[in-house]
Amino acid sequence: AQSVTQLGSHVSVSEGALVLLRCNYSSSVPPYLFWYVQYPNQGLQLLLKYTSAATLVKGINGFEAEFKKSETSFHLTKPSAHMSDAAEYFCAVSEARSSASKIIFGSGTRLSIRP
Amino acid sequence: NAGVTQTPKFRILKIGQSMTLQCTQDMNHNYMYWYRQDPGMGLKLIYYSVGAGITDKGEVPNGYNVSRSTTEDFPLRLELAAPSQTSVYFCASSLRPGTGPYGYTFGSGTRLTVV
């Protein structure tokens, strides 16, 4: 069975500081991994995805994530936080090359930006 | 291109009432999903569909029903509303199964309160 663990339900950083949101996954088969962002009162938007190509994945709004198989991690980073980055972020996993499974979401991390 | 449209955006139900949450997509996606989002719990899959006429249960199907008579529409039915069904409901669709590297397209959600 697959699962995703997001470390820290709430992260607060200063504007201009590094953003690091942690995600660890569990999967018995090669995974696809995703980060979604949810702004207040909106649905989820795909931020970036790992699909077994490059291990460093670049997404929208300056975010990137690195797939580390040895650590079963897919942490999300951004070098310099902006006020507009305040949102909830979800890590998700699905099984690669399987027609039967679905995307499993983590419990989310709320990112706050201090002026 | 409207994407995934959910109606209504907000609803208050009394215990025991019934209602249907509407979801429609205009991207000709075969795969559609219903999730509920509770604070600190991430997203839990209620039901999903792999095409018109085909539906299956997700992680938390009790108290809900679905139908898929057309590719575009995937309504979620609550027959006897209970306070435990107070949540935010998201509909999503995808071109390929959730396992593919395509992620989902989400609607903006329906916030339901049962009192």
pLDDT of A60-106, one tens digit each?
A: 999 999 999 999 999 999 999 999 999 999 999 886 655 555 788 89
Distance from CA of A45 to the nearest CA of B (A): 7
Q: What is the mean pLDDT of residues B38-61?
A: 89
| Amino acid B14: pLDDT | 96
Q: Does position B15 have pLDDT exceeding 90, yes or no?
A: yes
Q: Does position B40 have pLDDT exceeding 60, yes or no?
A: yes
Asked whether the beta carbons of residue A43 and residue B108 sit closer than 8 angstroms, the reply is yes
Q: What is the mean pLDDT of residues A28-39?
A: 88
Tell me how crowded residue B28 is: count the other CB atoms within 10 A of its CB. 9
Q: Does position B76 have pLDDT exceeding 90, yes or no?
A: yes
Kindly indicate the confidence band of residue B50, based on its pLDDT and cuts at 50, 70 and 90.
confident
Kindly indicate the confidence band of residue B97, based on its pLDDT and cuts at 50, 70 and 90.
low
- Residues of B whose CB is below 8 A from A37: none
Asked if A89 contacts A108 with a C-beta cutoff of 8 angstroms, the reply is: yes
Q: What is the mean pLDDT of residues B87-113?
A: 82
Asked if B81 contacts B64 with a C-beta cutoff of 8 angstroms, the reply is: no
| Amino acid A96: pLDDT | 61
A100 lies within 8 A of chain B by CB: yes
B97 lies within 8 A of chain A by CB: yes
Instruction: Assign B7 to helix, strand or coil.
Output: strand
A3 lies within 8 A of chain B by CB: no
| Amino acid A110: pLDDT | 95
CA distance B27 to A47: 20
Q: What is the mean pLDDT of residues B79-99?
A: 87
Out of B43, B90, B98, the one facing A94 most closely (by C-beta) is B98
Of the candidates A103, A59, A111, the residue with the CA atom closest to the CA atom of residue B106: A103
Q: What is the mean pLDDT of residues A43-59?
A: 88
Distance from CA of A63 to the nearest CA of B (A): 17
| Amino acid A27: pLDDT | 83
| Amino acid B102: pLDDT | 65
A46 lies within 8 A of chain B by CB: yes
- Please, where are the H alpha helices in B1-113? none
A2 lies within 8 A of chain B by CB: no
Asked if A23 contacts A5 with a C-beta cutoff of 8 angstroms, the reply is: yes
Instruction: Assign A29 to helix, strand or coil.
Output: coil
Q: What is the mean pLDDT of residues B82-97?
A: 90
Of the candidates B19, B48, B18, B45, the residue with the CA atom closest to the CA atom of residue B32: B48
Out of A36, A101, A105, the one facing B99 most closely (by C-beta) is A101
Please, which residues have CB within 8 angstroms of residue B39's CB and are 6 or more apart in sequence?
A: none
Distance from CA of B15 to the nearest CA of A (A): 25
Q: How many CB pairs under 8 A join A and B?
A: 67
| Amino acid A80: pLDDT | 97
